[in-house]
Amino acid sequence: MRDFVDGTAYNHEQGQRARKLFSAVVLAALDDAVSDDKKYGNGPEQIARWARSRDGREVLSCAGIDPNERVVEGLMKFVRNGVRTSVALSREESARRHQAEAEAEAEAEAA
């Protein structure tokens, strides 16, 4: 019984590692699309084409993301914002975004 539990825990851990690996591939694809958008202006179309392709759908599924049209639209919106994933995931950027939202709400209430 103990071997079964150890094996299950090990398999679960391996699955989590694989999911993280595929998530890193998704983040790299987003960074590539952001750089394409800055260079050529076609980043959102590139990420949409990738996400709708067989390989893109497979990578998104392995990363734990349901590859539906809503996800594709979200990826395109992210690329249009032009912020690299490393910056978008940083605490400083998150704090800046929350501060900007709070200021916008305060201005809306004051008006």
Write the pLDDT tens digit of every residue in 1-13: 556 667 776 788 9
Residues 78, 27: contact at Cβ < 8 Å?
Answer: no
- Among 24, 35, 20, smallest CA distance to 83 is for 35
Residue 64: which region, alpha, beta or left (left: phi > 0; alpha: psi -120 to 50)? left
Q: What is the pTM of this model?
A: 0.76
Write the pLDDT tens digit of every residue in 51-90: 999 999 999 999 999 999 999 999 999 999 998 998 888 8
DSSP 8-state secondary structure symbol assigned to residue 89: T
